[in-house]
Amino acid sequence: WDDETDMKKLEEVVRAVEMPGLLWGASKLVPVGYGIKKLTIMLTIIDDLVSPDNLIEDFLTSEPNNEYIQSVDIVAFNKI
């Protein structure tokens, strides 16, 4: 993962994850330094249908998605 990472492909891989109760929202690229950017993306989940841990471990950071996704950080979390 460096300044040559295809961020458009990264977002495509993330948004390709589909499951009941998951809705992807707006996204943006945020510079972190030395020409490297990170993808920030909003999502809405229905708590009874989607587990954040399951989404991260089983879908986002597992094969083949881990070719593009190095790590996942939850920046904000609201539960109703």
At residue 48, does pLDDT exceed 70? yes
Residue 53 lies in a domain: yes
CATH number at residue 33: 3.30.70.60
Confirm whether 1 is domain-assigned: no
Q: Please choose, from the candidates 5, 62, 67, the residue with its C-alpha nearest in 3D space to the C-alpha of residue 36.
A: 5
Report how many domains make up the chain.
Answer: 1
CA distance 16 to 14: 5
Tell me how far the alpha carbon of residue 26 is from its chain's centroid. Answer: 12
- Per the structure, the complete domain to which residue 33 belongs is given by 7-67
Q: Is residue 48 part of a domain?
A: yes
> Does a structural domain hold residue 74?
no
Encode pLDDT of 56-74 as tens digits: 999 998 999 888 888 898 8
Report pTM: 0.84
